[in-house]
Chain A
Amino acid sequence: MPDAAAGTPLHIITLVKSVPDAQLERRFTEERHIDRSEGVLGELDEYPLETALRIKETAEEREIRVTALTMGPTGASAAAKKALQIGADDAYVLTDDALAGADISATSTALRAAIERIQQVSELDAQLLVVTGMASDDGESGAVPAQLAERLGVHLLSQATSVELSEGRLVVTRTATVEQQKVSAALPAVVSVTDQANDPRYPNFKAIMAAKKKPLTELSLTSVGIGPTAVKPRAQVLTAEPRPPRHGGTVITDEGDAGVQIVDFLQKERVL
């Protein structure tokens, strides 16, 4: 059967967050915001990008554009550039002083406005598919995709472990609380993708060079048409205390009785 939606272009907007490198020390600023002065493309946001690229590569007859969108401080453009190197067609970076300390509500409000603005300026007249990671590497709420779907008024398919387009509908397998589900939905939709979904590609030299010619556009709150009050956080961090780092305790080398020694330790600690 011919694909009913094959004639309509598809615009896949993939959300990538710029996050502090998890391999380095991460900290809070005095304003109790996570220090984002240096950022990398969040590891978990490589999976949705890969999902988007595979959809594009397998749909031969359809015009598909893959756009990367990130919201963050000035340095966040590094994440957008990385997304272009990996394979996105174009990228947008939403930066605004009023977004410092954005909570889930502010982030989803700003991203929604940015997505609507991008749709307007891209003049594709396309169906919309937003793909996101399962959680950001720093905020880790996993709640932005759901809030975004609610604000856009579109379907939410979260925690996808596989994503396909079939006859214009989205078919996703996902892990629910007590079961695996196979779910189908009409577009437009927001899909969050887990690290089980695929193996993200690395950019090669050719792709890195090609990315330099791809468009990267900066957005501000004004340019996406919302004011600072719309992104006033609805949740505030009151205190942020570094946790005393966990220290290693006793380490012994097994000399034939380590199993017994562990049991002694457990008994002493009263955890049995």
Chain B
Amino acid sequence: MSAVLVYFESVGAELTSAQQELITLADAVGEVQVVTGSTTSDAVHALALEGVHTLYTGEGEIHAPDPAVIDLLETAVQETRAHAVLARNTADTTDALARLAVRLDTGLITDGVGLSHDLRVTKSVLAGSYTTTARVAEGRPLIATMKPNSTEPHLVPGGAPEIVTLPVTAAAAEQLRVLERTPLEASDRPSLTEARCVVAGGRGLDGDFGPLEELADELGAAIGASRAATDAGWIDHAAQVGQTGVTVSPQLYISAGISGAIQQRAGMQTAQTIVAINKDEDAPVFEIADFGVVGDLFEVVPQMVEELRRRRS
């Protein structure tokens, strides 16, 4: 069976749900080999899964924007003769896979949501208005980034993979220098792109995310926001859902105090179920909501929280 290379930016003690999905997708189309520029010593336990054969790393840590990431990927493809390379659709991995595709003179397909046995990739385009399938030219390896929440992870524990260190090291810092690194604020909540439930707020919150925080606590949800809310500085930019923020496809998206501009909708309309609360009955968000409430979010949201608690106790 031919190899499928799965690229992770880093592997820690536990796989994220997006990483579990990628291994599940890869396992269905070939022999899974993982490559990463950054591991901890317990990564090998996280990858002790049936179907995962080898963990390839470089010598020392290799991170974006270091172009050595592409050398690492290229070397791993040569080593494994992989017929497909899969990774998540973050900006940094998209850059790396895009450059890899140039080196291998093959096609790149971004933001896939499905992968068939003959390596056709399904994706949603034009802000969710079309579904396309695409494949790369005959006889060339598929290079694809996949969106989280595309498949149900299905992993079986197995033996530890073999670890192979490839002869690739970080590039000299002279040309491209990282002067400062500031970690993005970590939160205890599930990650926005991977969460099964997202609670999002907009300008209607008037600076107060308190009610949404409580609702997110009850639902185990991630918190998202419109650009109006992130631009106002009420919440970190990382929470922005939409065309220029993150795209989410959760089972449940609750939108509160968001009008539903086209750029916002581009990031959430593939959610399975959408609930919207807005005091303006003409808000465009109601055109796509499965259940809409015309009302004041400061009354509706606290009542939801209370009702959820009541039913739980």
**Quick one: which of B91-129 are within 8 Å of A by CB?**
91-99, 101-103, 105-111, 120, 124-129
- B133 pairs with A238, CB closer than 8 A: yes
CB distance from B7 to the nearest CB of A (A): 12
A177/B92 contact (C-beta < 8 A), A158-B65, A235-B107, A263-B307 known: yes
The one of B64, B176, B177, B244 in contact with A194, judged by C-beta atoms closer than 8 angstroms, is: B244
Does B228 make an interface contact (CB < 8 A)?
no
- B133 pairs with A237, CB closer than 8 A: yes
Binds B, one of A89-97, A100-108, A216-224: A100-108
Which chain B residues lie closer than 8 Å to A254 at the CB level?
293-296, 299-300
CB distance from A101 to the nearest CB of B (A): 12
Q: Is the interface of B mostly helix, strand, loop or mixed?
A: mixed
Does A142 make an interface contact (CB < 8 A)?
yes
User: C-beta contact mask, A107-151 vs B, less than 8 Å → 1, else 0?
Assistant: 010000000000000000000000000110110111111110111
CB distance from A80 to the nearest CB of B (A): 23
Which chain B residues lie closer than 8 Å to A26 at the CB level?
126, 129
- B175 pairs with A149, CB closer than 8 A: no
Binds B, one of A2-10, A50-58, A181-189: A181-189
The count of residues in chain B whose C-beta lies closer than 8 Å to any C-beta of chain A is 90
CB distance from A136 to the nearest CB of B (A): 11
A242/B129 contact (C-beta < 8 A), A22-B262, A176-B65, A248-B292 known: yes
Binds A, one of B50-58, B155-163, B283-291: B283-291
- B292 pairs with A177, CB closer than 8 A: no
Does A258 make an interface contact (CB < 8 A)?
yes
Which chain B residues lie closer than 8 Å to A134 at the CB level?
91, 244
- A175 pairs with B131, CB closer than 8 A: no
- B108 pairs with A105, CB closer than 8 A: yes
CB distance from A62 to the nearest CB of B (A): 22
A147/B180 contact (C-beta < 8 A), A234-B136, A234-B140, A245-B129 known: no
Q: Is the interface of A mostly helix, strand, loop or mixed?
A: mixed
Does B135 make an interface contact (CB < 8 A)?
yes
The count of residues in chain A whose C-beta lies closer than 8 Å to any C-beta of chain B is 84
In the complex, A174 Cα to B98 Cα: how many Å? 18
In the complex, A237 Cα to B127 Cα: how many Å? 17
CB distance from B303 to the nearest CB of A (A): 3
Does A1 make an interface contact (CB < 8 A)?
no
A140/B111 contact (C-beta < 8 A), A251-B294, A259-B299 known: yes
CB distance from A9 to the nearest CB of B (A): 22
Does B269 make an interface contact (CB < 8 A)?
yes
Q: Which residue of B lies closest to A155 (CB)?
A: B176
Which chain B residues lie closer than 8 Å to A44 at the CB level?
244
Does A34 make an interface contact (CB < 8 A)?
yes
Which chain A residues lie closer than 8 Å to B299 at the CB level?
254, 258-259
A260/B307 contact (C-beta < 8 A), A146-B98, A234-B106, A238-B120 known: yes
A258/B295 contact (C-beta < 8 A), A23-B262, A181-B65, A181-B181 known: yes
- B291 pairs with A249, CB closer than 8 A: yes
**Quick one: which of A152-207 are within 8 Å of B by CB?**
155-159, 171, 174-186, 194-196
**What would 13 A/B residue contacts be, using CB atoms closer than 8 Å?**
A23-B262, A143-B94, A146-B94, A149-B99, A155-B67, A157-B176, A196-B237, A235-B137, A249-B291, A249-B292, A259-B303, A261-B293, A263-B311
By a beta-carbon cutoff of 8 Å, the part of chain A in contact with chain B is 22-23, 26-28, 32, 34, 44, 103-105, 108, 134-135, 137-138, 140-147, 149-151, 155-159, 171, 174-186, 194-196, 232-243, 245-254, 257-263, 265-267, 269, 271-272
**Apart from A34-B126, A254-B294, 16 more pairs, CB < 8 Å:** A105-B107, A105-B108, A137-B243, A147-B108, A176-B63, A177-B92, A179-B181, A180-B180, A181-B181, A183-B177, A185-B177, A240-B130, A240-B131, A241-B132, A243-B130, A251-B289
Give the 10 A-B residue pairs with the shortest CB-CB distance, closest first: A259-B303, A254-B295, A235-B107, A234-B107, A146-B98, A251-B292, A143-B98, A249-B290, A182-B180, A259-B304
By a beta-carbon cutoff of 8 Å, the part of chain B in contact with chain A is 9, 63-65, 67, 70, 90-99, 101-103, 105-111, 120, 124-137, 140, 175-184, 197, 219, 237-238, 243-244, 251-252, 262, 269, 272-275, 277, 281, 286-296, 299-308, 311
